[in-house]
Amino acid sequence: MALRSALFLFIVFLVPLGCNRAKAPGKASPDQNTQMEITPQLTMSPVRVQFFGETGLEWEMDAPEAKGVSRSDILSARNLTINLFEGGIKSTKITADEGFINSGTTIWAPGSMLPLNGGDMFLHGHVVVSSTEPARLTTDWINYRKSRGVIVSTAPVELIRGKTETKGNGLEATPDLRSVKIFNETLVIHGEEN
């Protein structure tokens, strides 16, 4: 609800142009095989969006340009950077070619079969997740599930932590990368050269 209110402030002055619904070939969703096609009502350039929850600043997004759609409560951006915070302290930085943030009711992420609930994010294209631990995760896409506090993916992933490199297909992790489960993993430990 708070995310919905925060994003609503950015798009409150819009004259609704509507959202078109189009059949997505070969994809099924509970809503009669339809998927949202985004028709933006507001373009912001450049943009910084900050979201404050019950514990203070939870995340901020920076992008050269973002588009908003008030009817579906979705914000989309390209070449974006998202910083996640825990207790007001930055814990994670995520960069991606494109991303979608949903602050309303459940929708299907554009171009995917993933449902986005309120507060969820879908980021794709050269996704890099860097934590302050430090750890660095790279993949093609991630889905941030706010209600569970995890990021998930079924794409090939690579996690580098110190001298350890883990590769696999798919993951479930906390955004700060303290707890990471990589599926079908291969672990490589690089030794020191003498």
- What pLDDT, on the 0 to 100 scale, is given for residue 22? 29
State the Cα–Cα distance between residues 157 and 4, nearest whole angstrom.
Answer: 31
Above 80 in pLDDT, residue 193?
no
* Cα 143–chain centre separation: 5
- What pLDDT, on the 0 to 100 scale, is given for residue 1? 45
CA distances from 106 to 45, 111, 115, 145, 194 (A): 27, 15, 6, 12, 55
- What pLDDT, on the 0 to 100 scale, is given for residue 17? 27
- What pLDDT, on the 0 to 100 scale, is given for residue 43? 84
β-strand partners of 121: 101, 144
CATH number among 3.40.1130.10, 2.60.450.10, 3.40.50.1110, 3.50.50.60, domain 2-11+48-189: 2.60.450.10
Question: Cα Rg for the chain, rounded, in angstroms?
Answer: 17
Query: What's the burial of 160, exposed, middle or buried (CB within 10 Å: 0-12/13-18/19+)?
Result: middle
State the Cα–Cα distance between residues 168 and 107, nearest whole angstrom.
Answer: 28
Structure-token pair, residue 50: 């900050």
Above 70 in pLDDT, residue 111?
no
Maximum alpha-carbon separation in the chain: 67
Query: What's the burial of 194, exposed, middle or buried (CB within 10 Å: 0-12/13-18/19+)?
Result: exposed
Give the domain ranges of the chain: 2-11+48-189
* Cα 65–chain centre separation: 16
Above 50 in pLDDT, residue 18?
no
Please write the tens of the pLDDT for every residue from 170-183: 999 999 999 999 99
Above 90 in pLDDT, residue 64?
yes
Q: What percent of the chain has pLDDT over 90?
A: 40
- What pLDDT, on the 0 to 100 scale, is given for residue 131? 92
Tally Cβ neighbours within 10 Å of residue 80: 24
Report the range of poorest mean pLDDT among 38-42, 49-53, 55-59, 168-172.
Answer: 38-42
21 pLDDT band, cuts 50/70/90, is very low
State the Cα–Cα distance between residues 167 and 26, nearest whole angstrom.
Answer: 30
